[in-house]
Structure 1
């Protein structure tokens, strides 16, 4: 159990201290990952930016991810999604809706994309469940040819950790409990992060 995202971020930074001095690019997933990314970037003398990806939710159950879409509009469905009989029309409409959200956030945060080519790049989030969103982020960043791609999260279920480990060069997951149900259950303070806090973190106004 973490007290809050700050504690998790400090512990992640400790685990990644070997990247200090390499000018790592820390890419946080909004919104909850951004205050954590600020701490990690500051502790490692790196640069903070965001990676914008969105999950595609199932019909009638938007929290259940059936796939994801990245900032380029690339859609990737989770393995086995076809067995749910979800129409291509639904997937296309939902992907377009999520892509519009991505574009709105990019404009709201006023951050042109930072490229990861040739850099140690660290993807940070508070936690992951199915890993659909993070897989989209990994795919998006990997296409930019980083020197090394690292994932660092507070908590995730063991099967997701093992699957993602094969997609990156290094993975730090502080806790991988067998009784995982939701990310928030492992934080005493898991308040929602708003856009103002994201913008402040990106500007370096919090640490």
Structure 2
């Protein structure tokens, strides 16, 4: 059983990389969900001799409670709603406005991280979608569905810690789920890390550009 808390995201990423070692040498694509998972994605991608990119999805916040996810939207504009949206009776007009707002942020991030260029081609590839933890799982599910539409050979969800109920939903979308710990009752993701600092936009851009101090050097 995995000991909690993780020291930090680096510790969690190293443990995940060890669990994913069977993909080393198979040139997987590691897609990190910004922002916190991006430095983790670099560690895992380097350990597996893979490539790193981001998958851009945004959660949709509930009316008046932006931190409560009612679903998520991906870069193609596809909206996934969860049970919370139904329970709150959120109307279509609100969902449309919130999705448009989050799509604008996704486009800004694509421009900032990759100069507006397209992400890596995923067709026929082993793709590992990574986040630093799952609470509701809404963002991860949207990310996995977005990747699935590009017809990867094998689709993996990888997280250090998750609510067990969220994993059940994710297992319906991914070919494989790798999770190190499912504490119950589940609390905020940050509580399962000794250190859980914010990861800024500039840090994400640096990691993706390969200028992060821990990045593998070419050649």
Please indicate, yes or no, whether the TM-score normalized by the shorter chain is above 0.5.
yes
Tell me the equivalent position of 2:121.
Answer: 115
Q: Which one of 46, 56, 62 corresponds to residue 52 of structure 1?
A: 56
TM, length-normalised to structure 1: 0.97
1:76 Cα offset (Å): 1.5
Q: Which residue of 1 aligns with 2:169?
A: 163
**Would you say 1:199 and 2:205 are equivalent positions?**
yes
Give the equivalent residue in structure 2 for 1:33.
37
Specify every segment of 5 or more residues in structure 2 that has no aligned partner in the other structure, as ranges: 215-219
Q: Secondary structure at the residue paired with 2:83?
A: coil
Counterpart for residue 179 of structure 1: 185
SS in 2 for 1:6: helix
Q: CA deviation at 1:89?
A: 1.2
Note the alpha carbon deviations across 1:157-193, whole angstroms, 9 max, x for none: 1111122123211111111100211100000110000
Give the deviation of 1:80 after TM superposition.
5.6
For residue 20 of structure 2, what is the aligned residue in structure 1? 16
Question: Aligned equivalents of 1:82 and 1:165: distance in 2?
Answer: 22
SS of residue in 2 equivalent to 1:27 = strand
**2:74 equivalent in structure 1:** 70
Once the two structures are TM-superposed, the CA of residue 99 in structure 1 deviates from its matched residue by: 0.3
Between the aligned partners of 2:60 and 2:169, the Cα distance in structure 1 is: 19
Q: Count the aligned residue pairs.
A: 207
The alignment yields a C-alpha RMSD, in angstroms, of: 1.1
Quote the residue 1:134 is aligned against. Answer: 140
Q: Which runs of 4+ in 1 moved over 6 A?
A: none
- Cα deviation for residue 88 of structure 1 reads 1.3
Q: Which moved more, 1:197-206 or 1:27-36?
A: 197-206
Comparing 57-66 with 110-119, greater Cα deviation is found at 110-119
